[in-house]
Structure 1
Amino acid sequence: MTTPASARAAEILARPVHINGLTVPNRIAMAPMTRMFSPGGIPGEDVASYYSRRAAAGVGLIVTEGTYVGHESAGNSDRVPRFHGEEQLAGWGKVAEQVHAAGGTIVPQLWHIGMVREQGQAPYADAPAVGPSGLRIGADEPTGKAMTQLDLDDVIGAFAQAAAAAERIGFDGVELHGAHGYLLDQFLWAGTNRRGDSYGGDPVARTKFAAEIVAAVRETVSPEFPIIFRYSQWKQEAYQARLAETPEELEAILTPLASAGVDAFHASTRRYWLPEFDGSDLNLAGWTKKLTGRTTITVGSVGLDGDFIRGFMGEGSPVKGIDDLLDALEREEYDMVAVGRALLQDPQWAAKVLAGRFDELQPYDAAALKSLS
């Protein structure tokens, strides 16, 4: 039975939102989650079904799992999808087609893992691990290659080519993965960027590489084609790491990215309900919108009482109410909400929430990871 509270959820979440030239039918996005279900980097029919089921159940915007751009050092698995190559792009074209047929919109997340890679890993075993200074998170000595200008140009080109391919085969935009300690984030964070050239130093200089990628993508795609940039304070190997200690430092990082052509920011946190800076209740997404004025997506344990890192370690998470989320959306602190594990657990999550069927929501069970259906 629909109650006044559940009717409020439907009213707030069912509103369309515009990201540059794209109209997303509602405020619910599917967060990107690595699956490793694409042998040879080729997404198959099962991948298309996985995403189209969520779109058919009311998810307005699908952000795909991370997909490797066309640079040999971009990844470390032959089962993670790639966004380059004839067969790979043909598979992705079918994914986009089926999501559209189900009523959703979809963007690929374009990804380079940088120094997370180790020498000898697939899909290109001879490719070196590369990063701003050749440093893994937490290391004091290089274990990989510090990128030369040629390396930087090659990666910038790979992102631009992948974005152009996304538009060509029917996607609705792209998301650039600049979070969680991967390559773009390795440049943004002082802990892994020790460069002495124009790509290192203060926060603005550390943003230069990511901003050049955004600008190259913006130049390659149509003016109305959306560019989303995902970023985070925390890293996979350093949960307490921070790009910015103050709103002023955050503004210094985000402003060059917005100026280069970012249409929307996807602010990744482990728990969306936590304030980002002392003296304000705004979370990271709230501060991002306040500082840039861009469309902003919040994410982090939505609908679950526990962060996703613990979830992927096998811990379950009970269902958590979303009244605080709805309050923030109503105040226009941010514009959209990305949902991860809750949608992994239950493909019907969006349909249930939009219909006010909160009593049917399921607690997260790590066993769901065995099928990722």
Structure 2
Amino acid sequence: MDNGTFDLTHKKTGKTYSGLHVFADREEIGDLYDHHEFAVPDERRSSGSSKGWQLHEKSEERVVFKHEISWSLPDKAGDKVRSVYEKAVTIVTYATLHAGIDRLDLMTELDNVCEDHMLRVAFETGIRADAVHAYDHFNVVSRAVAKTGAEWRDNPFQEFVDVSDGETGLCLSSIGLPAYEAIQGANGIELQLTLVRSAGKIGPAAGANYPAPGGQSPGSHRFEYALIPHEGDWLQGNCASRAADYRNRMLLAADSLHGGTQPSSSAAITFVSGGDAATPVLSCLKRSEVGDDWIVRLWNPGKGSDIRLNSVSSGARFQRTRLDESAFAEESAESNINYRVTGGDLLTVRVSMKEPPRG
């Protein structure tokens, strides 16, 4: 849209989320430890400062749109007012849709030339609920929604934060951005992701309120985040796995065309959950600390589930281990493995891919 926002339609549910992606900025009169504002916050919004969205790239694999705004923000802030002198801040955003992936990837670039401010990007979900759900250390916590007009307060999250009314939902994931706030607006919950917090002093919590120019976060920044629309709540929408797919991207290497014996697509290791249980989340795939085996760690975000692992390799062997990769005395290596994993629990398995001896 001309005001810099966009509408996102989830084709599977027919749900449209309107007026997404507005930048919001307030003064920062706190320090590196705590954010503080004026008694009446001076909030600026980017609507009306846009040059509009333009098609940037199009191919069979993806389509990319580009959006740019030139936005005037106060140069700095005093104890009671923001400066009347303003500087132009150019913000460029790329929105990418990948073929076959039910997700919108966003990347925003800006040069932070202002001080004493806090910048967020806001998503008006249109969903009415009393709480949102955020992932935090192998757990999903429910947090209440803040009231409109209150002082901004960052809440921590990892992997994702989700807004849902139980029928449809909008999940937000990010790379390297761990702070959000959900605010109750006139049209439902507005989800805000913190991009920059510029503060110029350390704060009394450190024992001395010394100046800290680096805390203003000057210079060029690049932010990456994604929107994942879904059915149901965060568990039914498989938000944990889909956010993990976004945050942990595969590295690809091109090779010349050549013959081979392997199928065009396959999986060295597969895992499934029984019944209608939630899909287990792959939280770790790495080489073992000792030997040449692989370590696979799964997290069950839902209720109890039977998780079964198998491999296309006839020589593969699975053995359940502790987190430090030491084996349980009663556990032997098997060609496949089936375990009952309760809700919230982890399953760590050592995978040996060696072919069995012949003859």
TM-score between both structures, scaled by the size of structure 1? 0.21
Structure with more of its chain in strand, by fraction: 2
TM-score between both structures, scaled by the size of structure 2? 0.22
Structure with larger Rg:
2
Structure with more of its chain in helix, by fraction: 1
